[in-house]
Amino acid sequence: MSTVLFDVPGPRARTRYRAYAVVGSVAIAALVGYVVWRFFDTGQFEGRKWSWFEYKQIQLSLIDALGRTLSAFAVGAVLALLFGAVFAAARLSDHKWVSAPAAVIVELFRAIPLVIMMFFFYYGLPSTGIKLSAFTAVVLSLMLYNGSVLAEVFRAGINSLPKGQSEAAYALGMRKTQVMVLVLLPQALRAMLPTIISQLVVLLKDTALGFLITFEELLYWGRQIGGQLQFGRPLIPTMIVVAAIYIGLCLLLTWFANYLEKRNRRNKKVIKLDEDKAKMVQLGEASGVSGTMGAV
């Protein structure tokens, strides 16, 4: 198959590619081999460093930690989606006094690093007498940041719907709220679902920032067990396990997003978005931060 950069290879190119493949494989194997050898050489695969896995209490504490990560994710995701929907609607409002403050808030919370927000809620606020638990601080920060990003995703989604949709709805005599809630939002949501889920992957990963404010989530657990002297400080083994869990969870979500996208493509009810704008949104997504959406 021809790609943008390369034509279908002929016999000479095929030999050349094969040579590259051999050299490349050797180089990659050497690199991976070196790292794996370092793991072996420093005893990271020794039974003792993994024996913590056999203890019931440790397994239970792993489940607890995973539970805290997942609940921070679940609560954060629900709140962020709500926040996003509300602020997207506010930004699309015809009233300047609603849309302007909403725009400012969304822009602000996208510009402030999550870490700073978490520190603010966890370390800063107590001086005013408001004490938040680490969990609340994490969830609130996740809501504000991801909610703001999602608000932009929703807005871009609604804006990229064909104008005929809202015009037809108005022609039927629907009110503004009805048009938004009954016609635009459901279609935009469905069309933007893959993007929304990718943002939720970001949110899931960001729960690990709670580590910095001693929220006892998965990473915190890994560090704690990883420091146990009786197992020879198995930090590398615990980090491997924690990373595998995070990657597994994120891939599961990503897979779900792809599945939805595929189903959408077959589904005739989905309105095709304005190609350019939609593409812009997806590209923004590739950066993992979904920056500013569509020039609208």
Binding residues for other proteins restricted to 19-78, rule: CB under 8 A: 20-21, 24-25, 28, 35, 38-39, 41-42, 44-45, 47, 50, 52-63
Geometric angle at alpha carbon 76, from 296 and 197, rounded to 5°: 50
47 vs 204: CA distance, rounded Å: 31
- Over its C-alpha atoms, the chain yields an Rg (Å, rounded) of 24
Q: Minimal distance in Å, beta carbon 250 to other proteins?
A: 4
Residue 100 or 172 having the CB closest to other proteins: 100
Considering only residues 207 through 226, tell me which ones interact with other proteins, judged by CB under 8 A.
207-209, 211-212, 214, 219, 222-226
Nearest approach in angstroms of CB 228 to other proteins is 7
Query: Does the protein bind other proteins through residue 256 (CB under 8 A)?
Result: no
> What is the rounded (10 degree) CA torsion for 283, 85, 81, 271?
-50
Is residue 208 a contact partner of residue 218, using CB atoms and an 8 Å limit? yes
Nearer to other proteins, 44 or 178 (CB): 44
Looking at residues 105 to 134 of the shown chain, list those that interact with other proteins (rule: CB under 8 A). Answer: 107-108, 110-117, 119-120, 123-125, 127-128
Residue 171 in the binding site for other proteins (CB under 8 A): no
Give the range of 91-99, 161-169, 250-258, 263-271 binding other proteins by CB under 8 A: 250-258
For the CB of residue 176, give the shortest distance to other proteins in the complex, in Å. Answer: 27
* 276 interacts with other proteins by CB under 8 A: yes
The b/e string for 56-83 (b: 16+ C-beta within 10 A; e otherwise) is: eebeeebeebbebbeebbebbbebbbeb
| Dihedral pair phi/psi, residue 210, rounded to 5° | -55, -25
